[in-house]
Amino acid sequence: MDQVLELKNIHYAYHTLEGETSALTDISFSLKEGEFISIVGPSGCGKSTLLSLISGLLEPEKGLIKINGKYLRESTTNVGYMLQHDELFEWRTIYNNVLLGLEIQHMLTARTKEKAHELLDTYGLKKFENSRPSELSGGMRQRAALVRTLVLEPDLLLLDEPFSALDYQTRLNVGDDIGQILRREKKSAILVTHDLSEAISLADRVIILTKRPATIKQTIPLIFDLEEDTPLNRRNAPEFKTYFNLIWKELNTDE
């Protein structure tokens, strides 16, 4: 498998009038094509900062980030970013919301428009193409936000607590649903979450960060002996509890 992302010895600190806040120290890891990583860590430890660095919104003070073998600044790789709130615009229909990223990136063509229709159809939103976001449930809105990201055909997807604004029941369904979509599309993805169950049900590997300034405390590969490896089946598998306890313990012990 090819390496999509490589981070080596990343350091980052915020500089404000009040002084310096060191957010990340010496972070190194890589992500292979089609791999799904979850990142967990205490609140405020630097998880979102890490995604901002990978997306190029922030620049590391030290260290290197390569995407598809190229330095981030020279890379033309498409990185998709999905946030906690779906950021759908009420004044646009669902279809036009999905086209927004394509418009901004000057990628609006007959082919990409067709792709938008196809994805909306595949993910059960065809009937809602002409609806406004407020007419959809929280789960459907999150699917629409995902379609808007996927239509750009990102090589790497960054998901920052994308389900945390949803109520518990919806969150379980949407998390599992979106996890399956990403596996089907064979997307390389990094999910930042404070929900351990979500992290374990979706990923190939969990990276545990220490409290701020975050460094990697442990990386735990998730291996499930399942005929059909879906998020829901994982939640019911005996390994799930073992991983949960292991990660919980790691998060709650100070070295």
Provide the minimum distance between the beta carbon of 50 and ligand ADP in the complex, in angstroms, as a whole number: 7
| Both tokens assigned to 143 | 């699917």
Instruction: Find out whether 72 and 7 touch, Cβ atoms under 8 Å.
Output: no
Identified binder of ligand ADP from the candidate list 6, 8, 11, 21, rule CB under 6 A? 21
Closest to 191 in 3D by CA, of 41, 2, 21, 16: 41
Is 23 near ligand ADP (CB under 6 A)? yes
- Answer yes or no whether residue 54 interacts with ligand ADP by CB under 6 A: no
Q: Round to whole Å and give the CA distance between 19 and 156.
A: 34
CB of 47 to ligand ADP, least distance (A): 3
- Contact yes or no for 208/173 (Cβ under 8 A): no
Strand partners, 67: 5, 70
DSSP summary character for residue 214? B
Q: Which is nearer to ligand ADP, 16 or 134 (CB)?
A: 16
Under the criterion CB under 6 A, does residue 59 sit at the interface with ligand ADP?
no
Q: At what angle do helices 94-104 and 138-150 cross, to 10 degrees?
A: 30
CB of 195 to ligand ADP, least distance (A): 13
Q: For ligand ADP, which residue of 19, 20, 43, 167 counts as binding (CB under 6 A)?
A: 43
Contact positions with ligand ADP (CB under 6 A) in 212-251: 212
Q: Is 45 a residue that touches ligand ADP (CB under 6 A)?
A: yes
Residue 27, CA distances (Å) to 2, 9, 63, 107, 167 in order: 21, 5, 9, 34, 33
Q: How many residues bind ligand ADP (CB under 6 A)?
A: 13
Binding residue for ligand ADP (CB under 6 A) from 1, 16, 252, 254? 16
The partner residues of 189 in beta bridges, in order of sequence, read: 36, 157
> Shortest Cβ distance from residue 58 to ligand ADP (Å)?
9
Residue 60 touches ligand ADP, criterion: CB under 6 A? no
Cα–Cα distance for residue pair 117/145, rounded to 1 Å: 14
* Nearest CB to ligand ADP, comparing residues 46 and 231: 46
Element (H, E) at 152: none
> Would you tell me which residues interact with ligand ADP (CB under 6 A)?
14, 16, 21, 23, 41, 43-49, 212
